[in-house]
Amino acid sequence: MRSTNPDSNSRRSPNTSPETAEKILSAAVAEFARHGFTKTTVRGIAAAAEVSPGLVIHHFGSKDALRSACDEHVFERIAELKAAKAGYATMAVQMMFDDPEMSTAVDYLVKSLLDPSEHGQRYFDHYVDLVESYITEGFAGYTFRQSEDSRGQAATIAVMALAPSLLEHRLHSVLGTDDTTAMMTRLAPHLLDLYLHGALESVPDNSQPGDEEP
Amino acid sequence: MRSTNPDSNSRRSPNTSPETAEKILSAAVAEFARHGFTKTTVRGIAAAAEVSPGLVIHHFGSKDALRSACDEHVFERIAELKAAKAGYATMAVQMMFDDPEMSTAVDYLVKSLLDPSEHGQRYFDHYVDLVESYITEGFAGYTFRQSEDSRGQAATIAVMALAPSLLEHRLHSVLGTDDTTAMMTRLAPHLLDLYLHGALESVPDNSQPGDEEP
DNA sequence: TTCGACATTGAACACGCGTTTAATATTAAA
DNA sequence: TTTAATATTAAACGCGTGTTCAATGTCGAA
């Protein structure tokens, strides 16, 4: 179903272009992931896909429609990878950052969270739902601390899990690195330690709050 | 050092209008905090300050220069409030969200972190430095869990502390609230619990990773 | 008063944006 | 081959942007 041409001998793919549309969409996802929706230009996508700006509109109708197409594409990609990793005992955080092939998809979703959109909000809602189910039902053998406000707890943990990606660029600068995978690997033990034991080791023994110095 | 004129007696607000410049700058901070730098327009700032767009440029030179002025202004404001709260026993997280007067300043800094700029990076670096000093020296009687990689640990905690503000709008939507202070108050106990005890209560007892179901 | 310096404005400029349009190139079908 | 349809492009349109400019308003100084 990919090609109906009789002789694909010396001719590659001249006119019939499902390839071109895919190339444009792929370039769009990359550009959106890199610069966000607002700052990404149709001309930039066209240049990255080595086509004219008009062709981008011709294939997808508008910049917003192109974004929707990208949303669906990324969603499918994420769903595939999530299904492929089902049952694999690891934290959701690692699930998102382990696979280098997923990095652009994750970047896209992160930018989608920052640049307000319905798709981005639906993704975040779904993510909080997922975390809440982990809290109530457990995840890969782990048991979560329970709370009366499981929704607020889930939202808190979801936000925490997304934080490193949100500030990825700032982290690169402050840690003096440019390898995202290596950086996330470096942060992973600290995240695990935080999730397992918290960040604080001992609490002050003064009972009433004030400007006291121990 | 503010003025070199000999008689600054009744010389306050004649023609040279510091009031107008302050009004513009205040409006600019609010607009930048609300919509971010890129999406904020000079015309929008001018409308909020009830002046003409040309006057904004006349007073600050350019949109970028206006942003720098806003950066300095917000930095000073934050420094003041931090100094005023020195010695007050509370977490750095709460330090940033407690005071409702600080909310716009915090929003501004958050947007500054997302929309890349030198000032935003310097602020983040400073923030990580602060957290690292808390880790090594303790904070308000609290003792942090130690790590060989204190820099990575500090970056991790700093990112976590900033996360709720970064996704404030998404949190509003997912929790069905429009009161930021109330929402942060709701999340506070979950954050404290996370920092004190972590998020996970028990770990699975299977020693080798796989697709096992407990 | 007159003058000069500054504040302030409305209109316009130059530019980049998303999008449209007319024209060309290419291919499948008749 | 001819024809219809689609892919593709260069150019331009309309719009919003940051910015500039000439004109007007305003107030202290002389």
Cβ contact, residue pair B191, A156, below 8 Å? yes
How many other CB atoms are there within 10 angstroms of residue B9's CB atom? 7
Whether B195 and A193 lie within 8 Å, measured CB to CB: no
Quick check: B103 pLDDT over 70? yes
- Set of chain B residues whose Cβ sits within 8 Å of the Cβ of A203: 141-142, 196
pLDDT tens-digit profile of B39-65? 999 999 999 999 999 999 999 999 999
- Mutation site, A118, A126, A129, A145, interface B, largest B CB count within 10 A: A145
Transcribe B42-67 into DSSP letters. HHHHHHHHTS-HHHHHHHHSSHHHHH
| Residues 49-108, chain A, CB closer than 7 Å to nucleic strand D | 50-55, 58-59
Other beta carbons less than 10 A from residue B114's beta carbon = 20
Calpha distance B45→B53 (Å, rounded): 8
Residue type, A6: P
Q: Which residues pair with A171 in a beta bridge?
A: none
Return the domain boundaries, chain A.
Answer: 71-197
Q: What is the mean pLDDT of residues A68-94?
A: 71
What pLDDT does A8 receive?
Answer: 31
pLDDT, residue A187, reads: 95
* Angstrom distance (rounded) from CA B26 to CA B48: 9
Question: Which of the four pLDDT bands, split at 50, 70 and 90, describes residue B191?
Answer: very high
Which tens digits make up the pLDDT trace of A37-69? 999 999 999 999 999 999 999 999 999 999 999
Radius of gyration of chain A (CA): 22
Would you say B159 and B114 are in contact if contact means Cβ atoms under 8 Å apart?
no
Residue A12 confidence (pLDDT): 33
Reported as a pLDDT band with limits 50, 70 and 90, residue B75 is confident
Cβ neighbours of B140 in A, within 8 Å:
204
Gap between the Cα atoms of A131 and A160, Å rounded: 11
C-alpha torsion sign, points A77, A80, A86, A88:
negative
Which residues 183-202 in chain B show a CB within 8 A of chain A?
Answer: 186-187, 189-191, 193-202
DSSP output for chain A: -----S--SS---SS--HHHHHHHHHHHHHHHHHHHHHH--HHHHHHHHTS-HHHHHHHHSSHHHHHHHHHHHHHHHHHHHHHHTTT--S-HHHHHHS-GGGHHHHHHHHHHHHS--HHHHHHHHHHHHHHHHHHHH-BTTBEEPP-S-HHHHHHHHHHHHHHHHHTHHHHHHHHT---HHHHHHHHHHHHHHHHHH-SEEE-----S-SS---
User: Where is average pLDDT lowest: A40-44, A65-69, A76-80, B33-37?
Assistant: A76-80
Q: Which nucleotide is nearest to B52 (CA to C1')?
A: C9
Nucleotide nearest to B61 (CA to C1'): D19
- Inter-chain touch B166–A163, beta carbons under 8 Å: yes
The three-point CA angle B88-A155-A67 to 5° equals: 120
Is the pLDDT assigned to residue B186 strictly greater than 60? yes
Distances (CA, A) of B205 to A85, A142, A196, B191, B208: 20, 9, 14, 27, 9
pLDDT at residue A212, as a whole number:
42
Report d(CA A64, CA B61) in Å as an integer. 34
Q: Is the CB of A36 under 7 A from strand D?
A: no
Per-residue pLDDT at A85: 58
Burial B46-62 (b: 16+ CB within 10 A, else e): bebbebeeeebeebbee
Q: Estimate the crossing angle of helix A168-175 against helix B118-137, to 10 degrees.
A: 70
Q: What pLDDT, on the 0 to 100 scale, is given for residue B4?
A: 33
- Name the residue facing A163 among B160, B203, B212 (closest C-beta): B160
Contact A70, A56 (CB under 8 A): no
pLDDT band with cut points at 50, 70 and 90 for residue A129: very high
Structure tokens at B172: 């509003």
- Asked if B198's CB is within 8 angstroms of A156's CB, the reply is no
Confidence band of B83 (pLDDT split at 50, 70, 90) = low
Instruction: Output the CA angle B143-B148-B152, nearest 5 degrees.
Output: 85
Copy the structure tokens of residue B129.
Answer: 């430095």
Beta strands B143-144 and B200-202, pairing class: unpaired
Strand partners, A202: B143
Task: Give the pLDDT band of residue A141 (cuts 50, 70, 90).
Answer: confident
Nearest to B189 by CA among A126, A142, A150: A150
Neighbours of A6 (CB within 10 A): 6
